[in-house]
Structure 1
């Protein structure tokens, strides 16, 4: 019986060791870009231009009528590599410091920022909304690995 218990717990222990070893390395915080038009800044910390302004989201045919807080976002790829853009990579923070993801509002509004890959020098524009009635003050964008790569104040 003891041998069977070890056999059952060994894979779990190995899995836990693997997951613990795969934790992301500590990253330096991303600089917050000021609100206003996206300016191309080629400094090391701002290779991805991100700007956002508050906007009124227009409900789509999929809308369930929930209240949405929206921003019109512009992403500019100033890197030398392709940049993936996806509405799932964005979040907004309100005046209280509460962070909102857009997963509950996907497809609920028109002109949603497209899922695309930007070549160097290209930009994408569109809406990002999160469920709730709040005032967005900051928008953040992550990479496909969910590491924050850009942050900007909402105008």
Structure 2
């Protein structure tokens, strides 16, 4: 019986610690200060790039600013577009003119460019991840 009590106590503890309705992810439009970056995004007209197949793309103009104290890396592959149904769309490389460049930004520097994802959908927010595994910054699409 002692074993059943310990198991019930462990189950109750796990259940209660997993029932938080707070999230560690930044809300759309917020800046993740840990990432040392600020991102803005606006919907823009699609202008086909060299790798575009057709015109069925959703395109955003994004600006990223290094608000930290160390350099950050920018790469189109570090962005994703989340639509109003919360589906996440990967960015298609080379499909749009003026694509955001791959570079390193020193503290205080910024860059602007476009990103595009296949398909026509209503974008809700864009995410930028510091590298492939770093903190995520979300910006509402205006």
TM-score by length of 2: 0.76
- Provide Cα deviations, 1:17-53, integer angstroms capped at 9, x if missing partner: xxxxxxxxxx93134326xxxxxx7x84573111000
Aligned-residue CA RMSD (Å): 2.1
In the alignment, is residue 120 of structure 1 matched against residue 116 of structure 2? no
Question: Is the CA contact 1:30–1:151 (under 8 Å) kept in the aligned structure 2?
Answer: yes
In the alignment, is residue 135 of structure 1 matched against residue 122 of structure 2? yes
Q: What corresponds to 1:79 in structure 2? A: 68
Q: What corresponds to 2:47 in structure 1? A: 58
- Provide Cα deviations, 1:98-146, integer angstroms capped at 9, x if missing partner: 11011xx211110000000000000010001000010111000112132
Unaligned residue ranges in structure 2 (runs of 5+): 1-22
Partner SS state of residue 77, structure 2: helix
* Residues 84, 28 of structure 1: alpha-carbon distance in 2 compared, 3 angstrom cutoff: same
| Bigger relative CO (Cα 8 Å, ≥ 6 apart) | 2
TM-score by length of 1: 0.70
In the alignment, is residue 28 of structure 1 matched against residue 24 of structure 2? yes
Equivalent residues, number: 120
Moved more, 43-52 or 64-73: 43-52
Question: Is the CA contact 2:35–2:134 (under 8 Å) kept in the aligned structure 1?
Answer: no
